[in-house]
Structure 1
Amino acid sequence: MPNCPSCESKEVVKKGRIHNGKQNYKCKACGRQFVEDPQQKLISQQTKDLIDRLLLEKIPLAGIARVCDVSESWLQDYVNRKYESVPRQVEVSFKKKGRLTIQCDEMWSFVGAKGNKQWIWLALDVGTREIVGVHVGDRSEQGARQLWASLPDVYRQCAVAYTDFWDAYALVFPQTRHKAVGKETGKTSYIERFNCTMRQRVSRLVRKTLSFSKKLENHIGAIWMFVHHYNTSLHV
């Protein structure tokens, strides 16, 4: 057995293999894990582009690491940096002032444990199907207020908003332009369909999943990344 590179201890045991098949070792004295003759692996831009696309599908990080032949630790660091860089504001096509209609809804999710609920508030333009408002937080008046604040100015000035009967909407949205409706009316069907699409495409949002978020910033980043991808795909 090789000596530990950190403390030079000889109390070393085998600890499985890393992604490329090399033997992994663990030092019983200091806990360091290492391989003999480690070599820096350069990840190509082509592989990074593939990872970006796979992050938009219902695939856990462990599966992406296997497909792309990268280590899970490298991938987690890459994902952390990727999600940190995702813009936290909507990018939508230009709208003139006039009659605009949006549908709003909130979708349950969690981070770390199911007791840590994180509600995803969304607003969708009925005419263009773009997502025009996003907020992740609690299901309170403050959550509705943050959704309203995330809308571009033209929507706050002109849009008629269809929502469910959750009280928070009525406390925030202008009374003359707020319409609370039931599912049977079909007036919120587009946003409900988008919720279903996002839950099926973003693995950490699937109701029964082992790929749930452990870090709130990554949870929010994954949602925003999918929203930007979705809006862009509407104009391709």
Structure 2
Amino acid sequence: MPLCPDCTSERTVKNGHIHTGKQRYLCRTCGRQFVENPTNKTIDTPTRELIDRLLLERLSMAGIARVVQVSEQWLQDYVTCKAAQTPTQATVRPKKKGRLTVQCDELWSFVDHKGNKQWVWLALDADTREIIGAHVGDRSAQSAQRLWDVLPTVYRQCAVIYTDDWEAYQQVLPRKRHRVVSKSSGKTSYIERFNNTLRQRVSRFVRRSLAFSKSLRNHIGLLWNFIHHYNASLPL
């Protein structure tokens, strides 16, 4: 058996294989896992671009790692970096003051375990279908306020906002422009459809998912990554 590269202990044993099939070893002294004669693999630009596209589909991290033949640890580091660099503010087309219609809804999700609920608050322009604001937090009025605060100014000044009867909205939104409606009214159908699209396209938002987020920062970053892609793909 090879010596441990950290502590040079001889107490090493075979411990499965890495994604390339190469033998992996475990040091019983210090716990280090390693391979003999490791080679650093440079991930080229086409592979990174393919990963970016796969992150927009309903694939787990392990699935993406298998498809593109990279290590799960490298992929996790790449996603963490990408999530940290993704802007958390919607980019929308300029709007003039006038009649604007917004639909709002909340989507349940979780991070690490189902007891750690993270509600995704979303606002959508009913005319252009753009997502104009989002916030991840609890289901309180404070989170509703955070969603309201991130909306572009023109919407906060002019828009009529349609929501369900969740009381947090009623504590935050302007009464004269807030409309409480039922799902059967169709007045929130576009944002409900987006919620379904999000669950179908990003595996960590699937209700019964094994591909859940372990990091809140990554959960938020990949949500915004999808929102930016979604807005950019809408017809002009």
Normalised-by-shorter TM-score class: over 0.9
- Residues 124-203 of structure 1: pairs in structure 2 closer than 5 A: 124-203=124-203
In structure 1, what is the Cα distance between the partners aligned to 2:141 and 2:189?
Answer: 23
Given residue 107 of structure 2, which amino acid in structure 1 is its aligned partner? M
Given residue 201 of structure 1, which amino acid in structure 2 is its aligned partner? R
In structure 1, what is the Cα distance between the partners aligned to 2:22 and 2:151?
Answer: 51
Alignment correspondent of 2:67: 67
Alignment correspondent of 1:12: 12
In structure 1, what is the Cα distance between the partners aligned to 2:110 and 2:138?
Answer: 10
Alignment correspondent of 1:34: 34
Listed one character per residue, the Cα deviations across residues 60-103 of structure 1 (whole Å, up to 9, x for unaligned) are 00000010010011110001000000001000011111100010
Alignment correspondent of 1:22: 22
Alignment correspondent of 1:110: 110
Q: Which SS does the other structure have where 2:31 is aligned?
A: coil
Given residue 156 of structure 1, which amino acid in structure 2 is its aligned partner? R
In structure 2, what is the Cα distance between the partners aligned to 1:153 and 1:198?
Answer: 26
1:227 equivalenced with 2:233 (yes/no): no
- TM-score when normalising by structure 2: 0.98
Displacement, 1:235? Answer: 3.9
Q: Which SS does the other structure have where 2:49 is aligned?
A: helix
Given residue 223 of structure 2, which amino acid in structure 1 is its aligned partner? I
**Comparing 95-104 with 12-21, which one deviates more in the overlay?**
12-21
Q: Which SS does the other structure have where 1:139 is aligned?
A: coil
- TM-score when normalising by structure 1: 0.98
In structure 2, what is the Cα distance between the partners aligned to 1:168 and 1:42?
Answer: 49
Given residue 134 of structure 1, which amino acid in structure 2 is its aligned partner? A
Listed one character per residue, the Cα deviations across residues 21-55 of structure 1 (whole Å, up to 9, x for unaligned) are 21111101111111111111000010000001101
In structure 1, what is the Cα distance between the partners aligned to 2:17 and 2:142?
Answer: 48
In structure 1, what is the Cα distance between the partners aligned to 2:130 and 2:199?
Answer: 17
Alignment correspondent of 2:52: 52
In structure 1, what is the Cα distance between the partners aligned to 2:104 and 2:138?
Answer: 15
In structure 1, what is the Cα distance between the partners aligned to 2:28 and 2:38?
Answer: 20
Listed one character per residue, the Cα deviations across residues 132-168 of structure 1 (whole Å, up to 9, x for unaligned) are 0100001000010001011000000110000000111
In structure 2, what is the Cα distance between the partners aligned to 1:98 and 1:196?
Answer: 30
Given residue 12 of structure 2, which amino acid in structure 1 is its aligned partner? V
Q: Which runs of 4+ in 1 moved over 6 A?
A: none
In structure 2, stretches of 5+ residues that fail to align are none
Give the percent of matched residue pairs that are identical in Structure 1 and Structure 2: 64
In structure 1, stretches of 5+ residues that fail to align are none
Displacement, 1:112? Answer: 1.1
* Count of aligned residue pairs for this structure pair: 236
Q: Which SS does the other structure have where 1:207 is aligned?
A: coil
Q: Which SS does the other structure have where 1:5 is aligned?
A: coil
